[in-house]
Amino acid sequence: MERIETVVIGAGVIGLACAKILAESRREVIVLEAADSIGSETSSRNSEVIHAGIYYPKDSLKARFCVAGKAALYDYCDTHGIPYRRCGKLIVATTPQEESALSEIVQKAKNNGVMDLKYLTAEQAMALEPALFCTNALLSPSTGIIDSHALMQAYQGDAESCGAMIVCNSPVLGGRRDGQGIILSIGGADPMELCANEVIIAAGLHSQTVARAIDGIPTSTIPGQYFCKGNYFITAARSPFQRLIYPVPAQAGLGVHVTIDMAGGLRFGPDTEWIDGLADPNLYDVDPDRAQAFYAAVRRYYPALPDGVLSPGYSGIRPKLSPPGSTADDFQIDGSQTHTVPGLICLYGMESPGLTASLAIARHVQGLLAQPQ
């Protein structure tokens, strides 16, 4: 049986960030990815936004890691040539009833150490963005956009330059703990068993499935597993906006918003579609009929959106820990003090702002591994 010091399960943006940080600490690292390429699920099916850390409850993991991760990510982009734009975003109220939510957002942001939000009158906001309609707005100057694929490739390159290996088409089918470490059963073209001193489950949508397959992890510590699909529509027109435009947040997400890609293209989304599982072969298809709801949502703040311009774009799935109607989830990161398995770190519910927070999450994982087991 092969032995390795550290295994990261999952080569999404957080798994790759963990591999980078752990390999740079002189660990021997292998990343096991079930798919045939890195970052093919949640990490590449999102809005590619660098979030400011505005919305999350005070002292939550999302708040802490988003704010710290944002600063680390901008620095990393500057030193590694990752394409990004600190374009800013407007959070807009479109009715007087929504205006009270803006003051609540400002207070949440201050609680999280985000002090740069600015109130704008309707006139000020619409002077910045002439295509916009709103009754009031907040400007978040530290929000940005990023090329997520370039970021993941940079994390992979850093990890590999320190000796890490990324192995695709290698699903983890199960595992068990024994006196030697954690023994993983790996499928694929060449099935094998691998014994690791440390294992980080960063499998995104599949983290709970992997955890349940490893004997020794108490099932009581594994959270619920729910899936919220977000659909995006695109248009061939160039964006009339220079900044991202977000409505007042919705319950399961941040509402159908306007984002801009690094080429200046315009996209709208995501919406909220709860799904039962991941088995549907057409899982990521976008139903063209959902466009009508998009027109209605977007025209609240972009009334000049023409008829017939929206086309199905892409979709992504948020790994949720609670069912529809529940309050917003936090990240769940469990070390041995929670599940009693030495050397094992389980990451659950790694949805937005996971990309922004990726470096901060990876450093937290490194810290947990350094604690007495």
Within-domain flag for 69: no
In a shared domain, residues 207 and 96: no
In a shared domain, residues 279 and 359: no
Q: In 3D, which of 308, 321, 127 has the Cα closest to residue 227?
A: 321
pLDDT at 295 over 60: yes
Q: What is the mean pLDDT of residues 154-166?
A: 98
In a shared domain, residues 260 and 309: yes
The answer to whether the CB of 166 falls within 8 A of the CB of 13 is: no
Q: Quick one: what percent of the chain has pLDDT higher than 90?
A: 91
In a shared domain, residues 263 and 305: yes
In a shared domain, residues 306 and 245: yes
pLDDT of residue 254: 64
Q: Which residues contact 157 (CB under 8 A, 6 or more apart)?
A: none
In a shared domain, residues 116 and 163: no
Q: In 3D, which of 52, 43, 137, 130 has the Cα closest to residue 86?
A: 52
CATH code, domain carrying 299: 3.30.9.10
Q: What is the mean pLDDT of residues 208-218?
A: 97
Within-domain flag for 177: yes
In a shared domain, residues 265 and 316: yes
The answer to whether the CB of 140 falls within 8 A of the CB of 87 is: no
Within-domain flag for 55: no
Rounded CA-CA distance 264/256 in Å is 18
pLDDT of residue 1: 84
Within-domain flag for 306: yes
The answer to whether the CB of 106 falls within 8 A of the CB of 16 is: no
pLDDT tens per residue, range 68-93:
999 999 999 999 999 999 999 999 99
- The identity of residue 165, as a single letter, is M
In a shared domain, residues 28 and 169: yes
In a shared domain, residues 313 and 208: no
Within-domain flag for 272: yes
Number of structural domains (the chain) is 2
What is the domain extent for residue 24? Answer: 2-47+149-224+328-370
Within-domain flag for 254: yes
Model confidence band, residue 328 (pLDDT cutoffs 50, 70, 90) = confident
CATH code, domain carrying 200: 3.50.50.60
Model confidence band, residue 372 (pLDDT cutoffs 50, 70, 90) = confident
Rounded CA-CA distance 151/16 in Å is 10
pLDDT tens per residue, range 246-285:
998 865 456 799 999 898 889 999 999 999 999 999 999 9
In a shared domain, residues 230 and 291: yes
In a shared domain, residues 209 and 237: no
In a shared domain, residues 215 and 233: no
Rounded CA-CA distance 86/206 in Å is 32
